[in-house]
Structure 1
């Protein structure tokens, strides 16, 4: 039995003049709960993490558990886009039964009180615990565990308005709420050319057509609290839907309602925040299928 540690550097590994390796971080974290295999991955800063890097990490997580038979996987990741990469890993994990834990640090190793080593130590304990097998990806900072679907960066991570998944207490995982349902399995290669646009009153429809003219195979729109988008976009949304380019609308308040634009063919993001709705649409289009595939996928999330 062993764990895989995938280290991507970023804030938790930053020293004054160097970046700590995964092995360095493991030594600083203290004795792990079981044998750990370390893999260092070159990655962009988390505020600029590419889709190709996110997909590579998600694939490695799945392979480590489904094929390489690791008990669990811990991925260290910069916090800026950690929730998106963790959710993508969750979407692609399928029925793989092993602990999948993403962690990071809010303060670098060069800080007077770095939090990365302690977060890593807790994440390793969580990944080794049988309680997380089959749960999907989780985010761990401090002693808190947040389901990847619900985790949001807010001066640390929170699951609000959903309950926190659990905690690590005295070396054991204690789940305090029911994990979200496992997402549908699509297969195929996720469609990486999916655009995300934040809407605003009087937004010109040319901004929407511009991204599809440039090749976007799907679009996520961030609407208001009730999921409404400007009326100026209605005709374009209908046209794109008729061209079999799905348009998913995510409410900035995480509601499932999307207002009148649903009559134009738009699809509800099922309560996902916009950036996660983009990850879900990428996966939904993994085998093509256009609007029908997206509608089916989000209807089953």
Structure 2
């Protein structure tokens, strides 16, 4: 029988207060479905039961294995993943890369209010996610986040509010659609995602620049890594002393990719005196408007797949 596979990973949607020690993920997938009263043709599996802020690369890999197993089942129409909101956008992007060879939708959702609240947003979000996962309109959509009634593409989605119920957005682009009374409305096309074989990503340094972070500190923060992502100022700029460190890293075939601290807009080599032009001359690549956290996952996957320096650059150009 055709059905939706729900893979539970914990998060606020599966969390309850515990003995005045704070809120933590505790409900299994089946317990979650029962508690929030979701019915229909669904199959449930608990992958992990964690707050997403505790995830590591191996957690992502294990979730992806469960997702791919579900996608291979001809009776599964689509996959829903219940997930913590803190790192949902990163898991979504990782899955979009390693599962883009499938047409079935992969939908991530969660909650801002834990399961003890009678008015928690988890039930509505999960119901909407299941609606998306089982709809023929979602074939080819790939991986997305469904939250607060809206559908967001994995590449562009960001968590933009710490506690508001409308927690996610795609700054500069907006949602690709919405769910209205169990009806799907898609309003824009999505970017084609490149396929990268499943691996545990290699560690990549992610350095967010700030005033006073110079080349010496940057060198310490990137020491020992096989790849580096810079969340640079504005259009893609850095302190002038960082340029020499970038040049040294690139000379050792360690890729350095420039992103922005801003949540909207693309990086481009425009400014000199340590700005983007100098970083480009030093050998750094520019990641358009792709978020630093997602570039880190992309680069980690490419390194883990033993892609050549030139191949990594070519793939980056295709996804940004």
Distance in 2 (CA, whole Å) between partners of 1:43 and 1:234 is 43
Separation in 2, partners of 1:293, 1:60: 29
- From the superposition, tell whether residues 171 and 134 of structure 1 become closer, same or farther in structure 2 (CA, over 3 Å): same
Match of 2:77 among 71, 92, 95: 71
Is 2:235 the counterpart of 1:218?
Answer: no
Q: 1:1-301 alignment to 2 at 5 Å?
A: 1-17=2-18, 19-33=26-40, 35-66=41-72, 70-155=76-161, 156-182=167-193, 184-187=194-197, 189-214=199-224, 216-253=225-262, 254-258=265-269, 259-260=276-277, 261-301=279-319
How far is 1:238 from its partner?
A: 0.8
Partner SS state of residue 42, structure 1: strand
User: Partners in 2 of 1:206 and 1:132 — Cα distance?
Assistant: 49
Deviation sequence 1:160-199 (CA, Å, 0-9, x none): 21121101123232111111222x2233635321110111
Cα 1:188–1:25 shift into 2, 3 Å: closer
**When the two structures are aligned, how many residues end up with a matched partner?**
298
Q: Which moved more, 1:48-57 or 1:204-213?
A: 204-213
Tell me if structure 1 keeps the 8 A contact 2:258–2:267: no
Q: 1:210 to 1:44 in 2, by over 3 A?
A: farther
Query: Which stretch shifts more, 107-116 or 20-29?
Result: 20-29
Of 23-32 and 5-14, the range deviating more from structure 2: 23-32
SS in 1 for 2:115: coil
Q: Could you say what secondary structure the match of 2:151 adopts?
A: strand
State whether residues 202 and 232 of structure 1, in contact with CA within 8 Å, keep that contact through their aligned partners in structure 2: no
Aligned counterparts of 1:62 and 1:241: Cα–Cα separation in 2? 35
Q: For 1:233-279, what per-residue CA distance to the aligned partner results, in whole angstroms no more than 9, with x for missing partners?
A: 10110111110000011012341314121111101112111111111
* Cα distance in 1, alignment partners of residues 105 and 155 from structure 2: 15
- Closer/same/farther in 2, CA of residues 204 and 141 from structure 1, 3 Å limit: same
Contact 1:79-1:104 within 8 A present in 2 as well:
yes
Deviation at 1:11, TM superposition (A): 1.0
Report the more deviating stretch, 1-10 or 185-194.
185-194
Residues 98 and 132, structure 1, Cα contact 8 Å, conserved in 2:
yes
> Normalization by structure 2: what TM-score?
0.87
Q: Structure 1 residues 269-278 or 38-47, which shifts more?
A: 38-47
Rounded Cα–Cα distance in structure 2 between residues aligned with 1:9 and 1:118: 17
Give SS of 1:248's match: strand
RMSD of aligned residue pairs (Cα, Å):
2.0
Q: Is the Cα–Cα contact under 8 Å of residues 188 and 286 in structure 1 kept in the other structure?
A: no
CA distance in 2, matches of 1:193, 1:208: 16
TM value normalised by structure 1 = 0.92
Structure 1 residues 191 and 20: CA distance shift in structure 2, 3 A: closer
Cα deviation 1:115-139 (Å, max 9, x = unaligned): 1112111111111111222211110
> Structure 1 stretches (4+) deviating beyond 4 angstroms?
none
Contiguous gaps of at least 5 residues in structure 1: none
Q: 2: CA distance between counterparts of 1:165 and 1:112?
A: 30
